[in-house]
Structure 1
């Protein structure tokens, strides 16, 4: 399971790099627009996920700013790493 989480987090870094690179070096044609939309969608979904975690587990789970940032970047894969603190 640890290898899966490490692989998934590395994949998320690649995805973020692709999405953010489009801001500085736009892809040709309509791919530019698609990547802007995907970036907005990923940011929106990860913010919603982070707000849900704060809302649902604020008493049980005290997140540091670093952990909150990692949840924003890696999403559910970081949550799998810290799920033992909830149980």
Structure 2
């Protein structure tokens, strides 16, 4: 599962790189508006996931400040990383 999380993070890093590259160096033709729409959808869905996960699981999971950013950047993959790290967090406390 740990390897799958890292693969997912790598894929999302490539996706974010393409989306941000479109803003800095606009893609020719219809690529620019398409990638802007995709960026808006990606940010909206990840914020919606953050809202859902934070409200439902706030009492059940130890949250850290970086966890919010993980979900915003990586979506479900970030959530899997947080859930996977919970046994380690409970041992540290």
Normalised to the residue count of structure 1, the TM-score between the two structures is 0.90
Range with greater deviation from structure 2 (76-85 or 38-47): 76-85
8 Å Cα contact 2:19-2:39 kept in structure 1: yes
Q: Deviations over 1:18-55 (max 9, x none)?
A: 00111111000001000000000000000000000111
Q: How far apart in 1 are the matches of 2:59 and 2:19? A: 34
Structure 1: tracts of 5 or more residues without a match: none
- Within-5 A mapping of 1:1-87: 1-84=1-84, 85=86
Instruction: Name the SS for the 1:79 alignment partner.
Output: helix
Q: Please report how far the alpha carbon of residue 2 of structure 1 lies from its aligned counterpart in structure 2 after TM superposition.
A: 1.8
Structure 1 stretches of at least 4 aligned residues deviating more than 4 Å after TM superposition: none
Q: How far apart in 1 are the matches of 2:67 and 2:82? A: 9
Q: How far apart in 2 are the matches of 1:83 and 1:66? A: 13
Instruction: Name the SS for the 2:27 alignment partner.
Output: coil
Instruction: Name the SS for the 2:45 alignment partner.
Output: helix
Q: Could you tell me which residue of structure 1 aligns to residue 91 of structure 2?
A: none
